[in-house]
Amino acid sequence: MKSLKICVVIVAEFFDASIEILDDKKIRFGELLGLLPHLAKIPKFITNLPLAIKEIREGVSDEYMSEIKNEVRQAIDVDNEALEVITEEIVTWLVLTFSSVAKFAMKKKK
pLDDT, tens digit, 9 for 90 and up, residues 63-90: 998 899 888 988 888 887 888 888 889 8
Is 0.85 surpassed by the pTM of this model? no
Query: Looking at residue 7, what is its pLDDT?
Result: 93
The list of the chain residues with pLDDT below 50 reads none
Query: Looking at residue 9, what is its pLDDT?
Result: 93
* Dihedral sign for Cα atoms in the order 98, 99, 101, 106: positive
Query: Looking at residue 1, what is its pLDDT?
Result: 66
Query: Looking at residue 26, what is its pLDDT?
Result: 78
Cα separation, 86 vs 16, in Å, equals: 11
Query: Looking at residue 80, what is its pLDDT?
Result: 79
